[in-house]
A and B are shown apart, each in its own frame.
Chain A
Amino acid sequence: MRKYALLPFNFITILNHEILINELGDFIITPIGTVQKILSHSISDEDLYKTLVSNFFVTEEILPSLLDIYASRLRTKKGFLDDKTSLHIFVLTLRCNQNCIYCQASSQEETSKHCSMSLEDMTASVQMMFHSPSPNLTMEFQGGEPSLEIDLIRHGIETAEEINKEKNRKLTYVLCTNCRKLSDDMLELCKQYNILISTSLDGPSYIHNKNRGREDSYEKTIAGINKARAVLGNEFVSALMTTSELALDYPKEIVDEYVSDGFNGIFLRALNPYGLAAQNEDWKRYNQRFISFYKTAVDYIIEINKHGIFFREEYASIILRKMLTPYTTGFVDLQSPAGTINSVIVYNYDGYVYASDESRMLAEIHDYSFRLGKVTDKYEDVFCGSVAKRMGKIWANEALAGCSSCPIKVYCGADPVRHHSTQGDMYGFRPTSLVCEKNKAIIEYLFSLIVERGDEVLPIFRRWVK
């Protein structure tokens, strides 16, 4: 019987293997029965034993001398907490020049009035942003269609640049635009301040146009992407897709579209079922179809990579980064404590601050649960106020029923806003949670690829997380 002590770990069984996962997200693939052998101190495989010791699964000392290293690696994994709130979303307006069928931002006509942020609120929002201790501040302009409010963008950036002369933060600007009417003035502003463009492209024209509610939408978006690339350079333009019901039937075609448009990755994003709990059965079906869609698309992307083309799926890359590297990711949906408030905050056109993008969308259906305060309020009252405190009690998956004993929690996150929206309860009930079902399916799928086709997929996955 070997003498050693256990270090904290969990395990999951996939394809007749036990995958042992420690607090850092490091994992070892072992034969079935390994956990039992570890517990009964009867490991006979010398190599396996050495792997368990060197990867912090068991220790031969009572207090391992490398505990400080383990602790500092654990700290690194939660590094996003040290960074504090770095993503600041400015919802400039609800005005829009498209009619997307699944629009979750409740957009208004291009000519609508009273649904844009005032200059005063923009100034107050930027001032509040600088109260965040983060050394990196990203100002992301959203809408509606934010490029319809170029003066507001210019005012926001100029105010930030002025304050930053003293504050010395690293500022990044992102414009989320449908690229439909990217004016020369707008692109000039982008060039002047290195604004990154994030656009929406749902796939080939027959999907994109249907989703976006206009027959010329695809053509205009592609033209806008090309125009922006010509002025700013390819690396300044990225695209996001949203998987509508229609898109679910075309995983390969959507990937092909992104490859042929010269992108080197795609984020396969599911629709968010905000405030639609009433049609829960439909969402369950959608979720399951999305998972199949996702797997087919990722399989296809792996094939593309095998032909020497670098092209990655972004959601998988975020999870793989947690699995295969010592680092954290800045992706707010897969964080614990949750990304809401801790990493992202939203200044809305209505002069209020919300806990996340989804929170302000809920406000459009008169649910103000995640309204933190006014942009003119004191920073402390907003970021550490009663709503934040209430959320703080349930935003760590390490302390949630279902999640706390979940073997893959280190790769997953807590999402109080989503659970409030879909289940009417911030705490959430994991056995019927759509977000739990989706994350679990995707994480287990990635593991199954590693178990079954490790030699083939791991070199590809390692390139994705570099």
Chain B
Amino acid sequence: MTLKIDRKIFSDSCISTVVYWFSSRYAIQRSIQGTIETLTIDGVQDEKQFLLEFYQKLNDYKLRNQIDEETKYIKTILYAKAFGEFDELTEEEILE
């Protein structure tokens, strides 16, 4: 089966993540023209079920990407505050 997805709606990273998780069950080829990405999927038995699952994952990863995008700076600050001093240690100090 083939599936056309608009990259303006779902980003490359979002589609790639979903394709990654489906790749154990299906062979998926990707091609892109303009903003439309075409997925050619081999091995689908139940199309309805496949689409349900595929779009549910796409939507979930889109939300996750949005959260990541909005929180990336605060996350960097948070991790720097939590573990920053490790960067200042020399290899000898780490081994002490």
- Residues of A bordering B, CB below 8 Å: 5-11, 13, 23, 35-36, 39, 63, 67-68, 70-72, 74-75, 78, 133, 379-380, 383-384, 401-402, 405, 407, 429-432
Contact = CB atoms under 8 A, between A and B. Distances in A.
Contacts of A72: 82
Interface stretch (B2-10, B37-45, B46-54, B59-67): B59-67
Report the contact-size class of chain B (Cβ under 8 Å from the partner): 20 to 34
Nearest to B17: A405
B71 A71 contact: no
B86 to A, nearest CB: 9
Given A8-B71, A10-B67, A36-B63, A74 B78 contact: yes
Contacts of B75: 8, 23
Given A7-B71, A11-B63, 13 more contacts: A6-B67, A6-B74, A8-B75, A9-B67, A10-B67, A23-B75, A39-B70, A72-B82, A74-B79, A405-B17, A405-B61, A405-B64, A405-B68
Interface in B1-49: 17, 20-25
Contacts of A78: 82-83
Contact of A71 (B22, B64, B82): B82
A297 B75 CA distance: 39
Interface string B63-96: 1101110110011011101110000000100011
B23 A6 contact: no
User: Could you say which of B17, B22, B61, B63 has the most chain A C-beta atoms within 10 Å of its C-beta?
Assistant: B63
A445 B20 CA distance: 24
Contact of B96 (A70, A74, A133): A133
A402 B83 contact: no
Contacts of A430: 20-21
A430 B21 CA distance: 8
Contacts of A133: 95-96
Contacts of A67: 74, 77-78, 81
User: Could you say which of B20, B75, B91 has the most chain A C-beta atoms within 10 Å of its C-beta?
Assistant: B20
Contacts of B83: 75, 78
B17 A35 contact: no
Nearest to A76: B82
B82 A75 contact: yes
Contacts of A8: 67-68, 71, 74-75, 78
B64 A10 contact: yes
Nearest to A431: B24
Contact of B78 (A23, A36, A380): A23
8 contacts: A5-B70, A6-B71, A9-B71, A11-B60, A63-B74, A74-B79, A75-B82, A133-B96
A379 B95 CA distance: 9
A5 B22 CA distance: 33
B39 to A, nearest CB: 16
A39 B74 contact: no
A84 to B, nearest CB: 9
B95 A431 contact: no
B32 to A, nearest CB: 21
Contacts of B61: 405
A10 B79 CA distance: 16
Nearest to A35: B63
User: Could you say which of B23, B61, B78, B91 has the most chain A C-beta atoms within 10 Å of its C-beta?
Assistant: B78
Contacts of A10: 64, 67
A109 to B, nearest CB: 41
B95 A380 contact: yes
Nearest to B25: A431
Q: Top 4 closest A-B pairs, CB basis?
A: A431-B24, A71-B81, A71-B82, A8-B71
